[in-house]
Structure 1
């Protein structure tokens, strides 16, 4: 039987929505376990995030909750099911708490497919970031300060520029910060990243 891990944002509305998800899972006699911070808020038993040994993680909340959870999970390859809370779907959510019951039977019977999402890892001062779903922004420490950089791809010098900053975005992140500074919208299935200067001196 599939085992589902539950993660949620800490806002009262998200916790109430998580209780609704739990009630649905109980109705279908699904095997589930709570992440320990969520469990503490609900006065239940839980398991530390990185020790959740489950087949799928359902994250109840918003884009912010999802992105924070992915950072905390690091390199985990456990499939994620984002479940939008508070009645409003966010950009990264197809399932809402209000229609969660409609997908449970397919979920528990294995009638679902996994969509791979490309993520980015950056090395900064010798330290790697966790995998990032949306983008990486590079800016000067002080505001209103021009940065100068060279873009080298696979050892080949590709571009030299000065700008207010630089954004490297995944296909998922192409509709976020990157889009607001004029970057392209990229299909999720495209095997590419976009590199967007912010206010380039060589547009």
Structure 2
């Protein structure tokens, strides 16, 4: 049995999830980005986080005009990595988070069935923080140990599984650096 929560995370609970299909193997990691309102990030020490409210179905539509447009959506991710590198987990990994939507990977539809979704607080065109890359590498390495079907070639962006609809994590995400950091972490853990 796999551990349902990652180490060193704050666990929150999203109602926007359900059971994976029986016998499904978790085999893909999907990296996303999100900011609410768009282009705005949580300030250090903030107690109110619109992304947290959104994933838990508690978004205050009066807090920002944009929120009324998205309040009907029922979405989540397994984890969010904030700008400071903190990780909050919303859905146990064994459950299906509603993060990918209409999607396709390696000839299969409905990527939510067999993937884990990680959101980075960010936008397509603003650089992600060093702390986010460090946390993402650590979390990814741990997930690869828990779910061996997730391999380097099965770590993708939302843009790769839904290219007609999505652009995240976008050109600001440094795939080359992330993969180099991840390979170094894998090498270190096997030496």
Task: Return the TM-score normalized by structure 2.
Answer: 0.24
Higher Rg:
1
> Could you say which structure has the greater relative contact order, defined with CA pairs below 8 angstroms and 6 or more residues apart?
2
**Higher strand fraction (1 or 2):** 1
Task: Return the TM-score normalized by structure 1.
Answer: 0.23
